[in-house]
Amino acid sequence: MDEGRLKQKVQTVIVSCSVILMTGKFIAFFMTNSVGILTDAMESIVNVAAGFIGLYSLHLAAKPKDEGHPFGHGKIELISASIEGLLIILAGVLIVFEGIKRLFIPSVIEKLDIGIYIIAGAGIINYLLGYYSIRTGKKYDSIALVAGGKHLQSDTYSSIGLVIGLILMYITRIRWIDSALALIFGTIIIFTGISILKKTVANLMDKADKEILSIIADIISKNRQPDWIDIHNLKMVKYGSYYYIDCDLTLPWYYNIEEGHSACINLEKTICKGFTDKVSFSVHSDSCAKSYCRHCQVTNCTYRKQTFVSPLQLTLKEITESDEERNE
């Protein structure tokens, strides 16, 4: 099974389970009339809606590149995750509103013990689904699956706190605890949505991912070839599970086209082997100048003007610097 279909299969399982869990939580709410349980049920609506949006986005993201989308359709996953973040924030606001209203207009709560069992069971299932989604998302570089999985697990953490609060209310019979739970977990849900939204917006804006760039810099540095005199102006953007990387590679000035092409291919293979094979790599080759002689490791160069001192350090800062920053 290809990765696109596998992602869709995972999301289908999650959506199906989310529908069942949502039904159970609303049954628990109607049985108990607890606004605390309502918070969990309302978030489940978001889970289901976001799940269907995520499923559709994965279907689109799996489509191959075409004339109208030369970089593929991977960005749709970020849009899906952004919508999910907005829905989570909306659910949190509605829950806080309901919690405040119940402070002033309290209601009778019944059969709380049954509600506790349902919420606890749903929390455990959500955690397992979230773990499954995050593991698969990280394995196949799907931000939609990772975002959905983190949302499910955050739902579990809130369920744990909710169950503790419901048990406390069951023992003490203090009604305002119900509203307090709604206010606390509604606020947590809002911040969860904001966190997801911030990350997806950053990716939509193609913000430099320093963590991934550091991994690439480390791979290049550890596998450096003598004729890779300098590497700079490296940039990377991510579309779905594919990485588009380009950079400038400084080579000996006397290399012919074949030798230069071979060095560029070698660099591409090095990155793909150490990082991922889902890379579209573009490299611009520069010719070395006299000033590079002190850093050039090509031992058989007959045109050397200065004695070799030390190689240029290919750190994250060095490889991402542009020609303008270097005044070249």
Does residue 75 have a pLDDT over 80?
Answer: no
Q: By the 8 A CB rule, do 163 and 116 touch?
A: yes
For residue 261, pLDDT over 90 is answered with yes
102-106, 301-305, 319-323: segment of lowest average pLDDT: 102-106
Which one has a higher pLDDT value, 106 or 299?
Answer: 299
User: Has residue 53 got a pLDDT over 80?
Assistant: no
Residue 32 has pLDDT above 60, yes or no: yes
Ordered domains of the chain (ranges, CATH): 3-204 (1.20.1510.10), 210-326 (3.30.70.1350)
Q: How many helices (H) and strands (E) does the chain have?
A: 10, 3
Provide, rounded to the nearest whole percent, the portion of the chain with pLDDT above 90.
8
- Using 50, 70 and 90 to split pLDDT, how confident is the model at 323? confident
- Tens of pLDDT, residue by residue over 141-196, are 666 677 778 777 777 777 777 788 888 888 887 878 877 877 887 788 788 788 87
Lookup result for tokens 């990765």:
3
- The pLDDT assigned to 82 comes to 80
Q: Supply the mean pLDDT for the chain.
A: 80
| Pairing relationship of beta strands 230-239 and 242-251 according to DSSP bridges | antiparallel
Contact 182, 105 (CB under 8 A): no
What pLDDT is attached to residue 106? 67
